[in-house]
Protein backbone atom coordinates (compact mmCIF):
# COMPACT_ATOMS: atom_id res chain seq x y z
CA UNK A 1 0.00 0.00 0.00
CA UNK A 2 1.40 3.37 -0.95
CA UNK A 3 0.89 4.87 2.50
CA UNK A 4 3.59 2.56 3.83
CA UNK A 5 6.20 3.36 1.19
CA UNK A 6 9.01 5.83 1.64
CA UNK A 7 8.68 8.93 -0.52
CA UNK A 8 11.91 10.16 -2.03
CA UNK A 9 10.44 12.62 -4.55
CA UNK A 10 7.37 14.76 -4.99
CA UNK A 11 4.38 12.44 -5.49
CA UNK A 12 2.74 14.99 -7.80
CA UNK A 13 5.57 14.46 -10.29
CA UNK A 14 4.46 10.82 -10.53
CA UNK A 15 0.88 11.69 -11.50
CA UNK A 16 -0.24 10.76 -14.99
CA UNK A 17 -3.21 12.33 -16.76
CA UNK A 18 -5.21 9.26 -15.71
CA UNK A 19 -4.18 9.76 -12.06
CA UNK A 20 -5.46 13.32 -12.19
CA UNK A 21 -8.69 12.17 -13.85
CA UNK A 22 -9.22 9.48 -11.21
CA UNK A 23 -8.61 11.92 -8.34
CA UNK A 24 -10.94 14.52 -9.85
CA UNK A 25 -13.67 11.91 -10.35
CA UNK A 26 -13.08 10.45 -6.88
CA UNK A 27 -13.66 13.85 -5.32
CA UNK A 28 -16.90 14.33 -7.27
CA UNK A 29 -18.02 10.81 -6.42
CA UNK A 30 -17.16 11.11 -2.73
CA UNK A 31 -18.61 14.57 -2.17
CA UNK A 32 -21.63 14.46 -4.48
CA UNK A 33 -22.20 10.81 -5.45
CA UNK A 34 -21.60 11.67 -9.11
CA UNK A 35 -20.10 9.21 -11.58
CA UNK A 36 -18.40 10.56 -14.72
CA UNK A 37 -20.83 8.94 -17.19
CA UNK A 38 -24.59 8.41 -17.13
CA UNK A 39 -25.75 5.19 -15.51
CA UNK A 40 -24.50 3.14 -12.62
CA UNK A 41 -21.14 1.68 -11.72
CA UNK A 42 -21.48 -1.03 -14.37
CA UNK A 43 -21.79 1.64 -17.06
CA UNK A 44 -18.49 3.28 -16.15
CA UNK A 45 -14.99 2.63 -17.43
CA UNK A 46 -13.73 -0.44 -15.54
CA UNK A 47 -10.24 1.03 -15.07
CA UNK A 48 -11.65 4.19 -13.54
CA UNK A 49 -13.97 2.26 -11.22
CA UNK A 50 -11.00 0.17 -10.07
CA UNK A 51 -9.06 3.37 -9.38
CA UNK A 52 -12.00 4.82 -7.42
CA UNK A 53 -12.19 1.64 -5.33
CA UNK A 54 -8.45 1.79 -4.68
CA UNK A 55 -8.64 5.46 -3.66
CA UNK A 56 -11.61 4.76 -1.41
CA UNK A 57 -9.66 2.04 0.37
CA UNK A 58 -6.57 4.20 0.78
CA UNK A 59 -8.56 7.14 2.15
CA UNK A 60 -10.37 4.80 4.56
CA UNK A 61 -7.03 3.44 5.78
CA UNK A 62 -5.72 6.97 6.25
CA UNK A 63 -8.85 8.03 8.16
CA UNK A 64 -8.56 4.97 10.40
CA UNK A 65 -4.92 5.76 11.17
CA UNK A 66 -5.77 9.35 11.98
CA UNK A 67 -8.61 8.26 14.27
CA UNK A 68 -6.32 5.84 16.13
CA UNK A 69 -3.65 8.52 16.50
CA UNK A 70 -6.22 10.97 17.86
CA UNK A 71 -7.45 8.33 20.30
CA UNK A 72 -3.91 7.74 21.52
CA UNK A 73 -3.52 11.47 22.07
CA UNK A 74 -6.60 11.35 24.30
CA UNK A 75 -9.07 13.23 22.17
23-28 long-range contacts, CB within 8 A, separation 24+ = 23/55, 25/52, 26/51, 26/52, 26/55, 26/56
Q: Whole-prediction pTM value?
A: 0.74
Specify the pLDDT at position 1. Answer: 43
Residue partners of 62: CB distance under 8 A and separation at least 6: 3
pLDDT, one tens digit per residue, over 12-64 is 888 899 999 999 999 999 999 999 999 999 999 999 999 999 999 999 999 99
Specify the pLDDT at position 4. Answer: 66
Q: How confident is the model at residue 74 (pLDDT cuts 50, 70, 90)?
A: confident
Amino acid sequence: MWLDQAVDRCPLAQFTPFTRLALRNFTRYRQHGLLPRPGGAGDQDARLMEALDLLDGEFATLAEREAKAAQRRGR
